């Protein structure tokens, strides 16, 4: 698939988490609103969030913010985007109706604008009997006309094939799957299998964390110190072993007067996946939009593929990913 055929969406997980670690409503809401409108006006056509973004008393806060912003967006613009949320299959959300109340609450927060509901992860590893019940519950919501599309997240090739068949029996399509995918995820046969299943069945492949928590955006002469202890340790471990990859991103970017982020996003698009980039300010929104205006050549893609395969370190895999 040509990367120019694949757009870019943006995720709001960072907004929810930010609220937990010190939030100034008056200043932050204004900035996030401008970021949101810039992204929509620039052509980013997928808004991805989740009911679990924003923990504790701030549970669902990301959805609330998006819902408030959508109220100010003209209907003609809302029709051009896909508002998607992910529902978490927590252990207490049991049975075929286990996600129904969660959907109602998310839909209320998002002001009735949900188009796609995604199962945030499979329960296969800890409650395999729940997996089929929950996906059929989403199928019920679809057949009742309450949602227009169903998606998956963090689901390996075996579970993807199984869940796809479960809904296919009912004449229901799986529209998308979200997986962790970037130049710093480890190349695997499972990932290639997922992409083949998606291509065969016209399932949209969405790549979350396409910039590897921002690591791919950092020039080789920089060594930033993140605010959180865990991210500090991650940067200390990964940055020294990714200099060659980041240098190549920088070199290719110079040709297009583009940032490393744009190159990394276009690499994801060159693999037929739509990157979901976390954006927190208008500059990041505009940078992601600029990535839609050009594409990698075949040679540039292959050079990045090779550099990825030779990289001595990878991002930790999300523990929620099922087989």
Question: Residue 251 and residue 255: Cα distance in Å, rounded?
Answer: 7
The DSSP secondary-structure symbol of 182 reads S
* Coil, helix or strand at residue 111: coil
Which of 23, 53, 164, 256 does the annotation list as catalytic? Answer: 53
| 256 is annotated as an active-site residue | no
Contacts 24+ apart (CB under 8 A), 13-17: 13/49, 13/50, 13/53, 13/62, 13/278, 14/278, 14/279, 14/280, 15/53, 15/54, 15/61, 15/62, 15/65, 15/280, 16/49, 16/50, 16/53, 16/54, 16/55, 16/58, 16/61, 16/62, 17/53, 17/54
Please identify every residue annotated as catalytic: 53
């Amino acid at each position: 698939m040509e990367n120019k055929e694949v757009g870019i969406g943006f995720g709001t997980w960072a907004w929810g988490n930010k609220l937990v670690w010190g939030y100034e409503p008056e200043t932050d809401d204004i900035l996030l609103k401008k970021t949101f409108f810039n992204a929509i006006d620039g052509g980013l056509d997928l808004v991805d969030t989740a009911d679990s973004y924003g923990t504790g008393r701030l549970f669902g806060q990301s959805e609330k913010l998006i819902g408030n912003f959508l109220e100010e967006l003209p209907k003609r613009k809302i029709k051009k985007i896909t508002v998607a949320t992910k529902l978490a299959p927590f252990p207490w959300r049991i049975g075929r109706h286990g996600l129904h109340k969660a959907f109602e609450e998310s839909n209320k927060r998002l002001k009735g604008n949900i188009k796609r509901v995604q199962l945030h992860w499979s329960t296969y590893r800890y409650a395999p009997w729940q997996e089929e019940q929950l996906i059929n519950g989403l199928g019920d919501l679809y057949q009742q006309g309450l949602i227009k599309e169903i998606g998956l997240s963090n689901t390996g090739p075996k579970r993807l094939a199984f869940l796809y068949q479960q809904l296919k029996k009912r004449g229901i399509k799986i529209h998308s799957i979200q997986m962790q995918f970037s130049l710093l995820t480890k190349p695997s046969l499972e990932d290639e299998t997922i992409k083949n299943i998606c291509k065969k069945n016209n399932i949209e492949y969405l790549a979350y964390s396409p910039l590897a928590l921002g690591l791919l955006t950092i020039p080789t002469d920089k060594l930033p110190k993140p605010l959180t202890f865990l991210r500090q340790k991650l940067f200390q471990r990964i940055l020294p072993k990714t200099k060659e990859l980041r240098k190549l991103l920088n070199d290719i970017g110079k040709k297009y007067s583009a940032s490393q982020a744009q190159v990394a996003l276009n690499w994801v698009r060159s693999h037929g996946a739509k990157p979901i980039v976390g954006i927190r300010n208008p500059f990041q929104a505009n940078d992601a939009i600029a990535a839609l205006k050009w594409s990698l050549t075949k040679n540039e893609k292959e050079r990045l593929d090779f550099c990825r395969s030779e990289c001595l370190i990878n991002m930790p895999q999300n523990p929620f990913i099922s087989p």
